[in-house]
Amino acid sequence: MTESDRSLRDRLVDAGVELVAAEGAPALTLREIARRAGVSHGAPRRYFPTHLELLSAIAHRGFTALAGRAREALGDGTAAPGAQVAALGRVYLEFARDNTGMYELMFRHDLLESGHLRLRETSLPLFGLLADLVGRARPGVDARLVAGALWANLHGIAQLWSWGSLRLATGTVDPEPLLHSALDAHLGPVTSR
Amino acid sequence: MTESDRSLRDRLVDAGVELVAAEGAPALTLREIARRAGVSHGAPRRYFPTHLELLSAIAHRGFTALAGRAREALGDGTAAPGAQVAALGRVYLEFARDNTGMYELMFRHDLLESGHLRLRETSLPLFGLLADLVGRARPGVDARLVAGALWANLHGIAQLWSWGSLRLATGTVDPEPLLHSALDAHLGPVTSR
DNA sequence: GGCGTCGGTAGACACTGTCTACCAGCGCCC
DNA sequence: GGGCGCTGGTAGACAGTGTCTACCGACGCC
């Protein structure tokens, strides 16, 4: 058959990725994913011993997708470090805005600890890149610390904005000024951005 | 009876608060809350038409508790604005650390939109206080914007730290340096703190 | 004193994740 | 070649969930 040449494992993850984009994170039922992949509800168990591990695999796709967009936004990496950090921040917020369900899934804390995929470590290379850029943009500071604070800021903006809390609190109509404020704060007064 | 002089509504919320502290957010089952309150699983429906509304009422307790701690940390409010902001940030992170389950519940986005309690608006007074302090600490800037960015930063640190992601990424052993970094960033170079 | 209403019970329903028994088809080896 | 075991999937049971509905007991009120 045309479907079974790709392993069921991949088809399940594919179905999950489509489902979370179409219906949101709460729709990612084990049985519904199996249904969409055209198999019985017990089949996923061969590949994912538990529901959480399947969700982890789906979230993993999200992290690699985010990393891909980051890489392509950075281009050849010749721009000024501060500008590259700004580009990363913008990509991060755009990803969270355009993939609400997937972003929500990626940061479900019970997923982070499950699966030998070690989902938490998946985001480390991207963080390392950020820390490197921060270190070049602000020599002299503890780059990993500042990068950590900045990452937390981006994450907070992404979440609180998508929930409407920040829109309500700040009264602004889009998160761009918040991103600017955060970048200015962590990267120091406007440099060559 | 000694139990029914307080309305079942309050007893349910009480049971939920205890349960989330003892067993974590995922344990907040409608049926388990009813069990702990000593009633049948259909009883809560008289007061909370849906499970989410009961959870909203429980989370509401969390917000008022947080506001209480903030108020008591600020004291008479005579300290320098920057110091007060720092105190608020510290209280926020401590609350998130000491009440992991409750904090997780408070920021479940599907809760924020449910219930005529309008949970999202509950955090507005506290945010207004923060924005006011930020405005006095940094006159000239858009206080609500900077306060929003700072709030997002605190929220991000609280979440990512409690999940272990920030500890892993920054290599620090406690979130205090992150708080300092964030405060320095948003409030400008160390003032009278 | 009968009646209606309030506050709670009990059970049904559909749905979930997990577990277990089964089994069809295939390759492999003696 | 024929039996065997393994791989990969099916089907059903089970406990638990949230919601809904029928019932009902005690209380207040006219």
Q: Six-digit token pair at A41? A: 């509800």
Helix orientation angle between B81-98 and B143-162, rounded to the nearest 10 degrees:
30
Contact A21, A102 (CB under 8 A): yes
List all nucleotides in chain D with at least one atom under 7 A from a protein Cβ.
Answer: 8-12, 16-22
The encoded tokens of residue B143 equal 């206080």
Alpha-carbon gap, residue B25 to B19, rounded angstroms: 8
Tell me which residue has tokens 């011993």.
A49
**Using the 8-state DSSP alphabet, how is residue A144 labeled?**
H
Q: Calculate what percentage of chain B has a pLDDT beyond 90.
A: 85
CB B157 within 8 A of CB B182: yes
pLDDT given at position B58: 97
Contacts of B54 (CB under 8 A, 6+ apart): B12, B13, B16, B30, B33, B44, B47, B48
Q: Give the count of alpha carbons within 13 A of B137, CB side only.
A: 30
| The two structure tokens encoding residue A92 | 């991060």
The confidence score (pLDDT) of residue A117 equals: 57
Tell me which residues from 28 to 87 on chain A have a beta carbon below 7 angstroms from nucleic acid strand D: 39-43, 45-47
Q: Which of residues 103-162 of A touch B (CB under 8 A)?
A: 104, 107, 109-110, 112-113, 120-121, 123-124, 127, 131, 142, 144-149, 151-157, 159-162
Nearest residue for C6, CA–C1': B46
pTM of the model: 0.92
Closest residue (CA) to C1' of nucleotide D21 is B42
Q: Indicate whether B152 pLDDT > 60.
A: yes
Q: Which residues of A touch B152 (CB under 8 A)?
A: 153, 156-157, 159-161, 166, 178, 182
CB B156 within 8 A of CB B93: no
Instruction: Please state, in angstroms and rounded to a whole number, the distance separating the CA atoms of residues B135 and B139.
Output: 5
Nearest in space to B157 (alpha carbons), one of A102, A156, A72, A92: A156
CB contact under 8 A, B178 and A149: yes
B91-132: pLDDT as tens digits:
999 999 999 999 999 999 888 877 665 788 888 999 999 999
Interface of B with A in 7-66 (CB under 8 A): 26
Taking C1' of D16 and every protein CA, the nearest residue is: B31
Nearest neighbour of A185 by CB, restricted to B155, B160, B185: B185
Asked whether the predicted pLDDT for residue B193 surpasses 60, the reply is: no
Q: Which of residues 101-120 of A touch strand C (CB under 7 A)?
A: none
What secondary structure does DSSP assign to chain B, as a single string? --STTS-HHHHHHHHHHHHHHHH-GGG--HHHHHHHHTS-TTGGGGT-SSHHHHHHHHHHHHHHHHHHHHHHHHTTS-S-HHHHHHHHHHHHHHHHHHTHHHHHHHT-HHHHTSTTTTHHHHTHHHHHHHHHHHHHHSTTS-HHHHHHHHHHHHHHHHHHHHTTHHHHHH--SSSHHHHHHHHHHHH-S----
Mean pLDDT score across all residues of chain B: 92
pLDDT along chain A (193 residues), means of 10: 67 98 98 97 96 96 96 93 97 98 94 73 92 96 97 98 93 95 88 45
Sequence-distant (6+) residues with CB within 8 A of B160 are A148, A151, A152, A155, B166
Q: In the structure encoding, which two tokens stand for residue A56, read together? A: 């982890």
Q: Which domains does chain B have, with CATH numbers?
A: 1-49 (1.10.10.60), 59-187 (1.10.357.10)
Closest-CA residue of chain A to B143:
A170
Element containing residue A51 per DSSP (H, E): helix A51-74
Q: What is the mean pLDDT of residues B32-55?
A: 97
Reply yes or no on whether the pLDDT at B161 is more than 50: yes
Check if B177 contacts A (Cβ < 8 Å): yes
Q: Do A153 and B151 touch (CB under 8 A)?
A: no
Nearest C-alpha in B relative to A157: B152
Q: Is residue B4 over pLDDT 80?
A: no
Residue of B131, B170, B186 lying closest to A144 (CB–CB):
B170
Question: Which nucleotide has the shortest C1'-to-CA distance from A29?
Answer: C16
The pLDDT of B23-45, averaged and rounded, is 97
Q: Phi/psi at B139 (nearest 5 deg)?
A: -60, 145
The Cα–Cα gap between B42 and B92 comes to: 36
The two tokens of residue A179 are 């991103």
